Structure 1
Amino acid sequence: MKPLPQTVQAGFSLPETLVGLALGLLVAGCSMALALQQLQARARLAMDLQIQQDLLALTDMIQREIARIGLRELAEQGAWLPDQLAPIPNVYGDPQVFQDLELQPPGEAGNVLRYSYARHNDRRPWDKPYAPEDNLVTPNERFGFRLKDGRMDFLLGGAWQPLSDPGLYKIDSFKVRLERRPLGINPDCPGNCSSCAPVLQGLIAHFEVRALASKDASLVYRFAGSSAVRNLGVQPAASCAT
């Protein structure tokens, strides 16, 4: 009898195929997990940048608005003039800080800032004459910032308008504090008495905004700043004996 011919096995055996399939699935799973991780990191970074830019724009607006407090069309009315018996008080220069609905004493922080400045000529048509200062605070000249239900609101036209989107981030804390710094002008005073010197009513507003990302509580943001009120008033000089 002739011996049976020996057959040579071609391809992979079943155990080898199963091992290869398992390794392939493992590599594919790791690749998909890595790709998903990269996509999540990119989405988190994009959200982080968007929130930072939004908060930077918000704090920049707060600083710009603080600098406008007390602005009036005829600032020279606040100074002594030869044909003016006494300076006209600035009706716009009295910002107030509230904690919710309670007015805070001077120097105390709150979550609501109210102020005003003149803007009755902002939308004046080009063919209309320039209107002089009326020294009356109208509803469209009252402004403010407040924290309400996790968002920042802005008082405009007599109504509160939302400035932030709680779906993207929530304002966790908003604090504003007014610091008054009287500045003596120190003119020449007879008898070297300082009580007769007029005083410049300096005012600096300190504010802080703290926010949390709505979709990622680990992202916390804090922006703080200070801005000086430029439109200051002058307290008249007291009488001084010579």
Structure 2
Amino acid sequence: MLTTAINRTTMSVRQRGLGLVELMVGITVGLIVAAGASMVAVNQINEHRRLMLETQIQQDLRTTADILQQDLRRAGFRGRAELGVWAPPTDVGTLGETAALTASVNQFTALVKTDNASLRSLTYQYARPSSGSDYSETGVLREVEHFGFKWDKREGVQELYLLVGAVGGENWQPITDRASVKIKGFDIDIDEQSVYVGEFCDKPCNLPPATTGLCPKHVVRKVRFTIVGEAAHDSNVKRTLSGVERLRADEVIGACPA
């Protein structure tokens, strides 16, 4: 009886704990669960990183577009609008008589688009005070009143620049940072709509200026641009932003017949 009880106790003790096979199975299951959790964590980190890059690029492109639009709104501004309006003679019949003033051509309305292998740019002009709050009395375009923006296409650069006056040469300032975003594409389109206004002349004419060389037309212009940005640290993260700006200063081509 005593021997039987001892054998049963020994067998009971031997059945306690995990065997080698059970231990290996447990470790395998644990590794599978840990691997799955690690994959989920890595995916979450990558998605968060991608989202942060996308947000940064979107903010950079929006800021750049705002700068371009704010500067474009000034294009064609001549500073002294009275120079573009006819004025009658004054003090007629006296020694102080002054002749009538004819309307002068706005020299600030030109838009020049350049597109070659290394850059794509748009340049324009607008008046700004030369001393204090004074604009040029003659309305003549000066060197410091040239502005614009450009995209440097060259590999390793791929930035947008703003022209801040041509003082002693071109003064291009970067408005994007290639350390965070590369500008992979930049398109510029100029939309023009012409309205012939010859019927408002003293001697009406309704034919296009190209036909008569005289009849004036009013040109309404819009500039459309598209910016394509790529994250500097991940070429798979790209964003595209488009903008349009109507130029406040319209262009008048031609003149009324004498």
> Is TM (by shorter chain) over 0.5?
yes
State the superposition RMSD in angstroms. Answer: 2.8
Alignment of 1:50-65 (within 5 A): 50-65=56-71
Q: 1:64: how far off? A: 2.3
In 2 relative to 1, CA 44–79 (structure 1 residues): closer, same or farther, beyond 3 Å? same
Counting matched residue pairs gives 227
Counterparts of 2:257 and 2:142, CA distance in 1: 35
Q: CA-to-partner distance for each residue in 1:126-180, whole Å, 9 max, x for gaps?
A: xxxx424343444442221111131111112442111112232221222223333
Residue range with higher mean Cα deviation, 23-32 or 77-86: 77-86
Q: Distance in 2 between matches of 1:202 and 1:53?
A: 31
TM-score normalised by structure 2 residue count: 0.76
After superposition, residues 1-242 of structure 1 pair within 5 angstroms as: 2-3=3-4, 4-6=6-8, 7=10, 8=12, 9-83=15-89, 84-100=100-116, 111-120=120-129, 124=132, 130-134=133-137, 135-148=139-152, 149-158=157-166, 159-185=171-197, 187-188=199-200, 193-195=205-207, 198-235=216-253, 237-239=255-257
Q: Are residues 173 and 72 of structure 1, via their aligned partners in 2, closer, same or farther at CA, if it must alter by over 3 Å?
A: same
| Range 203-212 or range 130-139, more displaced | 130-139
Q: Name 2:95's counterpart in structure 1.
A: none
Counterpart of 2:219 in structure 1: which amino acid?
Q
Deviation at 1:57, TM superposition (A): 1.9
Of stretches 229-238 and 35-44 in structure 1, the one that deviates more from structure 2 is 229-238
Query: 2: distance between equivalents of 1:116 and 1:192?
Result: 32
Q: Write the distance in 1 (CA, Å) between the matches of 2:115 and 2:121.
A: 6
Alignment-mate amino acid for residue 37 of structure 2: S
Higher-Rg member (1/2): 2
2-structure distance, mates of 1:222, 1:197: 42
CA distance in 1, matches of 2:176, 2:52: 17
2:192–2:222 contact (8 Å) kept in structure 1: yes
Percent identity over paired residues: 27
Whole-angstrom CA distance in 2 between matches of 1:64 and 1:17: 70
Offset at 1:41? 0.1
Q: Which runs of 5+ in 1 are unaligned?
A: 103-109, 125-129
Separation (CA, whole Å) in 1 of partners of 2:69 and 2:197: 26
Check whether the contact 1:78–1:234 (CA below 8 A) recurs between aligned residues: no
Out of 134-143 and 47-56, give the one that drifted further. Answer: 134-143
Q: Structure 1 CA distance, aligned partners of 2:112 and 2:204? A: 36
- Tell me by how many angstroms 1:186 deviates: 5.0
How far did residue 191 of structure 1 move? 7.7
